[in-house]
Structure 1
Amino acid sequence: MRGLISRIAPRSNACLATGFFATVCLLGLFAVIWALYEPDLSIHRGMKPSQDSVDFRREIAEQLARISKELIAPEREGLGDIVLRLSRIVSRLDPRYELSDEEAIPKEPRNSSLAGDARGTVGALGPGWGGDGRELVCGEHYLGERHGYPFFETGFVAKGGCAGERPLHLVVTILLVLGEDGERDERRLETILNGVKSYNSEMKVLVAAPKVTENMNTLVKNTGNGVLYKYGKASPGEAWNMLARHAATPFVLFARGMTHFHPTHSRLRRQIRVMSGAVVVAGGAARNEEGKWNMGCLQSQMKGYSLRYTRGYHISARDCMICDHLEGPFVARTSLLHTHPFSHVDSKSDISISFLEAVTFADWFLRLKQAGFLTLGCPDVMYYVLGGTGMNRGPINYQATWLWLAVQWQLTAIINPPFSNPLETNSPKSINFSCGEVGLSCKVSKLAKKGYLVPPCCARQVVAALRAFDQFSSSGGGGDPVIQGPDSYTNVLRYELEAGSILGAVKMGSFIPWDIDGDATFESKDFPLYVRGKSWFKERGFYLSSFEDPVPMHKESPETSVKTRGYFCLNTPDIYIEMWGYHNLSMDMDSTPEALSERNDSVANKPWRSLPAPNMPPTRIHLKTLGDSEGVWARVITNPGLYARNRYGPRFLRHAQSWVNLGLGDSWQSYARSAGGWWGGSQCSRTYHHACLVHYPTDGNLNFYDDEGM
């Protein structure tokens, strides 16, 4: 959570009004869907729907559910792409009702403070200008499918001499930050300056370099269109911020990694033209030095302390892809850098400027998405950039490179991160961090009390502890593991998970991500062996404590209590598992008939047993968590699903917070009223955090952690 509070712009009541209006629109959409489906249901009543139609309805329902959650999220500062996504859903149901792109793209977020910057007004052409980009460049029209044959270098043509059009050098300034590649950077600078001069001799190129050389000064003097700035040991983000402060135009081109400026392929007017409303960034594809083309449009998703990047797009607008992140150069509003500047990204390790820059842009685009802005990637725009198999020389410490971002956003995994050389095949698919490295606490009771999901690196402590406990028990008390055979199950220390640990095993296949502890039972006769095994557990990073003998569970009637002997805690560094002594475990007990009318004496007047045959192995469930694929086959109640349903009652598969955080007197009170909703328990104080429980479903087990995260 640390460091994130500063990322949220001040909110106003206008946001609530926007959210209310959008919610009303969503309800209207539900009505449209019902109107479309209801006649079919009446006509085909009784007919079995095809699997395709079932899958289609489920997909639509899932999309609407996701959108509705985003609408009510307190951290939302703008509509972002929500209206566009709703419009596409409407189009799939009935194209007649689809909104146009201009209708679906919302206004800029009300709290963005972009318009009317301190350095200018909405009406004055300068860095604080707040109008639409299409007001400064002429519109375009399409000349037809045959125009431009055979290579189609032309097709969409901008009109000339329209009212309001301004000279392009008054509209956009080019920003270029150089690295530490000496002669290569000087060649880049010369090529770009000459390319821009041949296109528009009055267009300014602001250049930042760690060290300004004599050759650079000469190049700038000869071309007459560049301005040099030295940024020394400052971070790449600080260098970009410095250049943006010196720009005097309403738009800037971030020439990130650019090697050549191509006047036709860069298509600056095209990018400026699509800039209106919530769209504040527009870029294009990139062609590297080996001729490899890359769209560079990425989607980002945070969940369960993981950040995943996916190449591609879900939706488009204005003939551009809506992206969460762009890997290549792009045009942006100058005022955006005044309200949302780049962060100062540093590293204790020796990391190249290009890699620090990749982290800088990743952080910036994440903050733009969080604020409700839109970024467009236009495939017809192409930039010439650095890159190729020879770009990355020597070993690269990827973990050290991305540690800063992981700390700022509290991530234990970054999957498919965007690198400075995006087509590099040797880049890792996932970069993982420990809880300690990113400053995450594993005090699960505190996390649950604050309404946060438990990090998977903390859940691994529980799985590892149960694996050690299973090993100790299977070895008969810390010796060599007992060879499993037909009669071996009577020679080990028997135990079974119970209570919330059984519920987690059945529902999640792991530790419940919002639980506060673990629960298990053991045979009371083995209590002394666990007392003597303290050193064995200590050698493996765990410790046993709180030994009590005896400890009746039901003090009002200890003589009839099943749990009457023995108690201790198995402790990980941060989480404890309560161990309760039983005289008998579930496999020793008689089985209860399903119906009250049935009697348990059907076989030779002998009651049905919990297991149908003697010497059968105990029931086990495989518990695992992200980053621990081995997991443990932990012993559980003979029929764990039956136990979970009978113990927790109706809606036991729906989720609810721990009884402690629900304000219940104890765990024996009913969860049914709270199941299926997070609002009955503890609430996040920072609802924008990706681990806040309100962002997660209250049913199912598929959407809590990224499968490749840690």
Structure 2
Amino acid sequence: MDSRLKLVVGATFLSIFIIYLYMYFTFEIEQNVEPAVRSCSSNLPVFLDVKHSAEKDSKEKLIALAKAIHSAKKHVRGSKTSDFLKKAISIVNNMLGDINVNPREVYERRSVRSEHICGEVYMGGAYGYPQYYTGFVTDKCSYGVPVSQLVTVIKYIAKPTGKTSLQVTLDRFIFSIKSEMNNSRIRIAINISSETFSSELKRKYPGVKLIFSNFESEGSALNSLIKDVQTPYVLVTRKMNKLTNDSMLERLVREIESINVTAVGGALRESNGHWRKGCFQSVHRNYTLKYMEGYDESYHECLFCDYIQGPFITTAKYLKENSFKHIDENNGLYEDWFLRITQSGRESIVCPDSMFHVDNLTTVSGSNWKAFSEYWNVYHAFLPMGNEMKINCEEVKISSSPSKALSPCAMKVYSDGIKLIMRKCEETGTICELQEGTGLGAVKLGKNLPWDIDYDLRFSVTNCSKCKLFYEALKKAGLKVNDFAPKCCNQKYKLGEKALFSIFYKGKRGDFTGHPVMDSDMLVRNGLVPTKVLFDGQWLNVARNPGLFMRNRYGKEMYRHAEHWRYTGEKSQRPNYTTNVFITCKQPGAHDCLDRYNADGDFPFNVMLP
């Protein structure tokens, strides 16, 4: 649930809301005959369907609420939020007890019998001693189906280095699969235009389908292999160099059917002996994507994951309906596929007792994430292998819209323009200060407000010679601004009067106002340095007491957030802002929707929290 940050403050009000619900539910139940305890769905909802919940009776609403809070508790990582949720769960558990519902039955996942694989029994901790190659024993059953009839193996080989190495690679790979599953179905795509090895290998493995082609990408190659798959499941053998009994495909098929997940993988053993669980959680928020190795929940000794790093099994039906993007693995192929699973509310697991033998995992230089970043609107990514991806802002068209946070590239343009202007102020000895929304952003967040539509600066309008130097410096720096020097030289301003200009940096407009009296000027005249605030890494002039200035300018609860007055429907640039609220997003749940965040605090906009 991606509202983790909202819960920090929201959990406080949630407890009050729960008490209200308790009073409501208790009153309603007391007016009627005590209902029988109903069987509850075992699967925790990934997304709470509020509209559907409203149609249920009070008891079911309470159970749905309990599941949602319990799910949030599992996935939240902030200690304060976790404490609030723990208290909320305690209240809800008491409420469930009052209506004869066992909380454990509400929260506990439940499984069904696998359709094709016999069940297993744990024989105890002494059974497999001392090597523990066994411990769980498969039952006998009448419905068991050999895994070779259930799973088709697919593999992509990119740009083989030579005929001999290709033959060796294929022979070892196919032989290992045939050794484990003699009648297995194998499909391999090789990124060369024609066959370059002898027909001996084809005679040795007649049932293996080999496709030779100059594929556009790994994704397109895998899609071509999937088209004619007839089995219910597919093993995608990314990085896998051989199959052994360590992989325990029966175990994986049993769990994908029993727990009803979309994909299931195992742990990885690299050629260098390094072992990894290969289970990652992902956070996609505010133009940033971050992967973190680890898990929040387990079941049947398997870990729930947003992203599986190694080979995995999924259903052929799902893979045909949700094909791979036409990109390569090093350009986000699997990150994209698993993100689509996660955002659709589906789940994936890794069962680490199943282990795949894979090539050494390395970070490949020269990767091109442009197609991935454009599709997912990601400007900065912390990837599973520990490397980072950043988009080139010079290639991005920037814009702003109500209810949406500015992109990092838009923020950079505004910030670069502000800092450039302020440097020119300093170089020419002109007194300048941040003001209005830009000053507010500096005080609250240490940068431009992520929902602003312009920038606001003020300068001293009393010195004719400095105004001329300043104007020429701005023009030379590539900024577009009307000549304000005549206003400085020919017009006298009183306190409260101002000269208003527009200034443009890379097409983005700012309000640029001249004032006769400024705090920084008065401080300098008294032998003091101007007050400066750290703004996106640079110390910039502000009013003498910027906290006081902004409190008096914006009024009550100004540290809580509100979008630009032009977006909120105000007719004046000096309204009494209604804070602590963002406009309802037109694309609910989108990563850049402001209403996904608490409309208070600076952490959501300064730190990428897990």
Distance 2:70 2:50 in 1: 26
Deviation digits for residues 606-648 of structure 1 (CA, Å, limit 9, x no counterpart): xxxxx79931111110100xxxxxx321111111111111211
Q: Is 1:582 aligned with 2:519?
A: no
Compared with structure 1, are the counterparts of its residues 457 and 209 closer, same or farther at alpha carbon in structure 2 (3 Å cutoff)?
Answer: same
Deviation digits for residues 52-88 of structure 1 (CA, Å, limit 9, x no counterpart): xxx85532437999xxxxxxxxxxxxxxxxxxxx89x
Q: Is 1:59 aligned with 2:82?
A: yes
Q: Where does residue 155 of structure 2 map in the other structure? A: 176
Contact preservation (8 Å) 2:520, 2:529: no
Q: Where does residue 465 of structure 1 map in the other structure? A: 417
Q: CA RMSD in A?
A: 3.6
Q: Where does residue 616 of structure 1 map in the other structure? A: 528
Q: Is 1:300 aligned with 2:267?
A: no
Q: Where does residue 567 of structure 1 map in the other structure? A: 500
Q: Where does residue 336 of structure 1 map in the other structure? A: 318
Q: Where does residue 70 of structure 1 map in the other structure? A: none
Q: CA deviation at 1:452?
A: 1.4
Q: Where does residue 485 of structure 1 map in the other structure? A: none
Q: Where does residue 142 of structure 1 map in the other structure? A: 122
Distance 1:546 1:691 in 2: 38
3-state DSSP class of the match of 1:704? helix
Q: Where does residue 377 of structure 2 map in the other structure? A: 410
3-state DSSP class of the match of 1:569? strand
The aligned runs of 1:499-518 (5 Å cut-off) are 499-518=436-455
Deviation digits for residues 154-212 of structure 1 (CA, Å, limit 9, x no counterpart): 0112212x132222222111111122124434323212222222222211111111235
TM-score (structure 2 length as normaliser): 0.80
Compared with structure 1, are the counterparts of its residues 280 and 63 closer, same or farther at alpha carbon in structure 2 (3 Å cutoff)?
Answer: farther
3-state DSSP class of the match of 1:469? helix
The aligned runs of 1:323-472 (5 Å cut-off) are 323-345=305-327, 355-356=330-331, 359-387=332-360, 396-398=365-367, 401-415=368-382, 417-418=383-384, 422=385, 429-437=387-395, 439-441=396-398, 443=399, 447-449=400-402, 451-472=403-424
Contact preservation (8 Å) 2:431, 2:520: no
Distance 1:154 1:101 in 2: 31
Distance 1:189 1:23 in 2: 56
Compared with structure 1, are the counterparts of its residues 642 and 278 closer, same or farther at alpha carbon in structure 2 (3 Å cutoff)?
Answer: farther
3-state DSSP class of the match of 1:381? strand
Distance 1:501 1:635 in 2: 12
3-state DSSP class of the match of 2:126? coil
Q: CA deviation at 1:250?
A: 0.7
The aligned runs of 1:65-144 (5 Å cut-off) are 97-99=103-105, 103=109, 134-144=114-124
Q: Where does residue 539 of structure 2 map in the other structure? A: 633
Q: Is 1:497 aligned with 2:417?
A: no
3-state DSSP class of the match of 2:481? strand
The aligned runs of 1:481-496 (5 Å cut-off) are 492-496=429-433
Contact preservation (8 Å) 2:268, 2:276: yes
Compared with structure 1, are the counterparts of its residues 217 and 18 closer, same or farther at alpha carbon in structure 2 (3 Å cutoff)?
Answer: farther
Contact preservation (8 Å) 2:405, 2:594: yes
Compared with structure 1, are the counterparts of its residues 104 and 666 closer, same or farther at alpha carbon in structure 2 (3 Å cutoff)?
Answer: farther
Q: Is 1:291 aligned with 2:297?
A: no
The one-letter amino acid paired with 2:378 is L
Compared with structure 1, are the counterparts of its residues 448 and 642 closer, same or farther at alpha carbon in structure 2 (3 Å cutoff)?
Answer: farther
Distance 1:496 1:503 in 2: 12
The answer for unaligned runs of 5 or more in structure 1 is 1-12, 34-54, 66-85, 106-131, 346-352, 423-427, 478-491, 552-557, 590-610, 625-630
Deviation digits for residues 304-347 of structure 1 (CA, Å, limit 9, x no counterpart): 211111111122222111111111101101111122110112xx
Compared with structure 1, are the counterparts of its residues 342 and 303 closer, same or farther at alpha carbon in structure 2 (3 Å cutoff)?
Answer: same
Question: What percent of counterpart residues are identical?
Answer: 26
Contact preservation (8 Å) 1:133, 1:272: no
3-state DSSP class of the match of 2:144? coil
The one-letter amino acid paired with 1:669 is P
Compared with structure 1, are the counterparts of its residues 32 and 397 closer, same or farther at alpha carbon in structure 2 (3 Å cutoff)?
Answer: closer
Distance 2:201 2:174 in 1: 8
Q: Is 1:474 aligned with 2:455?
A: no
Q: CA deviation at 1:536?
A: 2.1
Q: 2:572 aligns with which of 666, 674, 697?
A: 666
Contact preservation (8 Å) 1:696, 1:704: no
3-state DSSP class of the match of 1:215? coil
3-state DSSP class of the match of 1:448? coil
Contact preservation (8 Å) 2:256, 2:263: yes
Q: Where does residue 260 of structure 1 map in the other structure? A: 242
TM-score (structure 1 length as normaliser): 0.69
